[in-house]
Structure 1
Amino acid sequence: MSSPRVEVPAGGRRTGILGGSFDPPHLGHVSVARDLLEELRLDRLLVIPAGDPPHREVTLPAQVRLHLTRRAFADLPGIEVSPMEIERAGPSYTVDTLEALARRFPADRLVLAMGADQFAAIHRWERWRRLPELARIAVMPRGGGEPAPSPESMPIEYVVAHVTRVDISASRIRQRLEEGRSVRLLVPETIRHQVERAWAGRRSRHVTQ
């Protein structure tokens, strides 16, 4: 395993990729994105909401999640929200996204960021052996422990990206929203009212069905 502070390549940008369902985006996502920019010495970070996540169900429609994510990260230097997975038909496989980015930005050095729990299950991802060929893998540890790949995916190269862990989860936010409670201080204030209205609408539809 090598150091997370790898050398910046000569020519081209160091482009990070942070994917997820963003259902909804929250302040934990924003904190992690800011830390990744600094920790991995990125020129830019692409935040990419999944259109059709293959391993989980989503609550909000793709276009709503994209809109909320764009607003959540608006005006943050170095961070761009990409619609590429939402615009692509079919399941949102990370390997397809990396291949598309490699074709579009052949001079860029790609860095794929993921949590330790995702890394431990990477052998279940579509064409997972292709991932380290396309991008440097940066793993965010949890609870102070060192991230480790599963035996099925050994050996696999990765770097450690130490980020500030914020105790916020999308599932906790969704639970509060289903209960009609405020998510103030959990999601960016720029999107809080939209998020709460979206869930209020969902509850109303469920009652009338």
Structure 2
Amino acid sequence: MSDPSAEVPAGGRRTGILGGSFDPPHVGHVSVAGELIEALHLDRLLVIPARDPPHREVTLPAEVRLDLTRRAFADVPGIEVSPMEIERAGPSYTVDTLEALARRFPTDRLVLAMGADQFASIHRWERWRRLPELARIAVMPRDGRDPAPSPESLPIEYVVASVTRVDISASRIRQRLEEGHSVHLLVPETIRHDVERAWAVRRARHVTQ
């Protein structure tokens, strides 16, 4: 592990990256993102919804998830929602995103944030050994336990991002939506009606098929 407040090149910024499917974005995402800015001494945090996550299927269309994510984070200072993966064809590999950001912002110090469960399987990511060359890796612990890389990915340098993890599961939210239940207090109120409406349309389509 190393210091999360490491040096930044002259004229650059500490730019955090938080990716995910955001299917849908929920209050846990918003809470963690806000804390990451302080915990990692970031100048800004890029929240980047994936168009085509390589390790999971998504429910909502990419453009819908992008719109919901933008609105969910609209009032959080220091956060920018980026469409770069939505606009890029093919699987949304993190390494491609980091390489694109390094070209676009060559003086920025990139910091890639991820959960402990993602970190444990990082050796399965596309060109994973390239990731720490492009960005400092920051791992959010779960259940108070220090994150640990898998034996397959040792040695890999990382910092611990001490944030309050909100125990909300996106899969549980999707299950409630499929069952027709409200997701009040689980997703930001600014997008709740649209999220519930989107799943109501899905359910109606399934009934008529």
TM-score bracket, normalised by the shorter chain, equals over 0.9
Please state if 1:94 is matched with 2:90: no
Residue pair 2:8, 2:108 contacting (<8 A) in 1 also: no
> Number of paired residues?
209
What residue number does 2:183 align with?
183
Cα displacement (A) at 1:147: 0.5
Partner in structure 1 of residue 3 of structure 2? 3
Paired residue for 1:28? 28
**Per-residue deviation, 1:6:** 3.1
- In 2, the alpha carbon distance for the partners of 1:106 and 1:73 equals 26
Moved more, 90-99 or 68-77: 68-77
Moved over 2 A (4+): 3-11
Cα distance between partner residues in 2 of 1:156 and 1:68: 34
Q: Could you tell me how far 1:2 is from its partner in structure 2?
A: 1.3
| Distance in structure 1 (CA, Å) of the matches to 2:95 and 2:5 | 24
Distance apart, 1:5 and its partner CA: 3.6
Identity of aligned residues (%): 88
**TM-score w.r.t. structure 1 length?**
0.98
Correspondence for 1:195: 195
Contact 1:28–1:166, Cα closer than 8 Å, also in 2: yes
Q: Any conservation in 2 of the 1:5–1:39 contact (CA below 8 Å)?
A: no
Question: What is residue 77 of structure 1 aligned with on the other side?
Answer: 77
Quick one: distance in 2 between partners of 1:144 and 1:3? 19
Separation in 2, partners of 1:146, 1:27: 23
- Any unmatched runs of 5+ in structure 2? none
Q: Look up the match of 1:53.
A: 53
Q: Deviations over 1:74-125 (max 9, x none)?
A: 1321000000001000000000000000000001000000000000100000
Q: Secondary structure at the match of 1:137?
A: strand
Q: Separation in 2 of the partners of 1:3 and 1:169?
A: 30
Structure 1, unpaired ranges of 5+:
none
Q: Aligned equivalents of 1:83 and 1:7: distance in 2? A: 28
Using the size of structure 2 for normalisation, the TM-score is 0.98
Which amino acid in the other structure matches residue 75 of structure 1?
A: D
Which residue is 1:131 aligned to? 131
